[in-house]
Structure 1
């Protein structure tokens, strides 16, 4: 599990950092506005205006959070685990993507791998893989048995 979230963090830390920065700035501004409204203008209109600002900023935070979840949906999914035999591997020259086909029982799954895993794997190797379930990127590859 640490591999899974470590990989997600390594690929999305800029997005998460900006999101946490935005949340921190907005929350600190709202707290500051509440304190100044409480000290200076203890009338209903000041708090109504502050409530309206809070609703708007919560909406902005919701939009930023949704954008993160649309771009990185694997944060709230369980890691995919598969054990099977390598049926094929391929390289798409147009998009520079390495992929591998794994047969587990009657199911065949296509996953995306990096160059080093692509070089290590051979057809008919028995492997255990952990991958991102939505993006289908392999995080950890363990070769259980190899014919070579």
Structure 2
């Protein structure tokens, strides 16, 4: 599990830091407005205005959080683990991505790997992969055996 979240952190840290900064800025501003309203405008209209501002900012935070979860859905999924044999390897020059096809029982799936994994595995090797369930990027590849 640590491999999974460290990989996610390494690929999404700029987005997460910006999201945390937005949260910190908005929440500190809301606390400041609450303190000022409590000190200066202790009437119904002051608290009504504060309630409207809080609801607007909660909506803004919700939109930013939803955008992050839409672009990075793997944060709330469990890592996928599959054992099987390598059925094929491919390089897509258009997107510069490496992929391997893994057969596990009757199921065959395609996963995206880095160059080192692509070079390490051969067709008909038995492997165990830990991967991101949505993006199908391999986090860890363990070579279990080879038929050659």
Q: What range is the shorter-chain TM-score in?
A: over 0.9
Distance 2:61 2:94 in 1: 38
Task: Give the TM-score normalised by structure 1.
Answer: 0.98
**1:60 paired residue number:** 60
TM-score after normalising by structure 2: 0.98
Q: Within the alignment, does 1:37 sit opposite 2:25 as a pair?
A: no
| Residue 81 of structure 2 is aligned to residue 81 of structure 1 | yes
Unaligned runs of 5+ in 2: none
Deviations 1:78-98 (A, max 9, x none): 100000000000001111110
Query: Structure 1 CA distance, aligned partners of 2:94 and 2:13?
Result: 28
Residue 147 of structure 1: aligned partner? 147
Corresponding position of 2:107: 107
In structure 2, distance between residues paired with 1:41 and 1:78? 48
RMSD across aligned C-alpha pairs, in angstroms? 0.7
Q: Which residue of 2 aligns with 1:27?
A: 27
Q: Give per-residue Cα distances to partners, 1:28-54, cap 9 Å, x unaligned.
A: 110110001101110111110000000
1:123 aligns with 2:123: yes
Q: 1:147, CA displacement in angstroms?
A: 3.2
